[in-house]
Structure formats: C-alpha cells, structure tokens
Structure 1
Amino acid sequence: MSDLSLEQAITELEKIVLKLEQGELPLEKALEEFETAVKLSRLSQEKLQQAEQKVSQLLQQQNGETLTPFAEQNSSEGDERS
C-alpha cells in the first residue's frame, strides 16, 4: 500500500467511503474496508507532510522563506479585507 501515490490513495479512500455509506456491506467486510480506509488516510497524511517538508526545504534553500500554516494565513487575509 505504501507504493501508492497520494492521488491513488485518495481515490481508493473515496471508493471505500462510498461503499460504507451505502450500508449494504456485511459487518465483517465493513470493518475490513474501514481498516483499509484508516491505513489509506494515514498514508495520505504522511505523503502530504513529506510534500510540505520538501516545499519548506526548497523555499529555505532558495530564498530563506518559511511556510505560513494555512489557518494562520486565512485569518490574516480575513483581517486585511476588513
């Protein structure tokens, strides 16, 4: 599973969510699907963190810039519009 790309992991996760939302799976199969979904979610999160670290490293190497967390960026943008 670790060889999946982020896009592949998200696609698989979306398929599982659709199956679970239908509510037609037997309990054992639903639990297996849920377990797979948790693994895919963790994998996706790890891949996003790796990408963020790489971007951060590249920015620091090039310009000495740092990344601003998205939540902080949104709140400061909202303040500028006021």
Structure 2
Amino acid sequence: MSKKSADPGQFEQSIQELEHIVQQLEQGELSLEQALSQFERGISLVKHSQQQLHAAEQKVQILLQQQPEPLQPFEPQTGD
C-alpha cells in the first residue's frame, strides 16, 4: 500500500465520495452503464476504506499493548 493511502484525510474523502455515489444511485437518474460504473467505484472505495480502518485498528492494538498500565476511563473536569 502506498503512503498516500495512509493519509487520514483520504479516508474522509472516500466516505464523502461514497455518500455522493449512494445519493446518485438512490435518485435513479443514472443510465444503467453510469450506475454500474458508480457501483464499481463504490465497491473499490469500500474495500480501500476497510483496509485503512483495519490498519488503524492494528495500530491502536499495538499502542494499547505497549501501555505499562491499563488506561483509565476519561472523566472530564467540571467547572464547579
């Protein structure tokens, strides 16, 4: 996988593009050929996004394993 695929902003762009594709497909105004092309692009985006999520999940697991002590739940301070 290239370094570009690890760009966090790319994940958000993929999600936005997927949302746009879904809207186009739901409207039903695309020709069959256009709809199929958009569907293929959507599948490609989903696969790529899943790979990015899996990589991020693995990084989180590694970081958690490196912690000497278990993490405590976050409790925000109140301004009282």
- TM-score, length-normalised on structure 2? 0.73
Runs of 4+ in 1 over 3 A off after TM superposition: none
Partner of 2:32: 27
Aligned-residue RMSD, C-alpha: 1.7
Return the match for 2:58 from 49, 53, 56.
Answer: 53
- How many correspondences in the alignment? 64
Deviations 1:19-70 (A, max 9, x none): 00000100000000000000000111111100000000011012376xxxxx
Structure 1 gaps, min length 5: 66-82
CA distance in 1, matches of 2:27, 2:11: 25
Higher relative contact order (CA 8 A, sep 6+): 2
Deviations 1:2-25 (A, max 9, x none): 746111110000000000000010
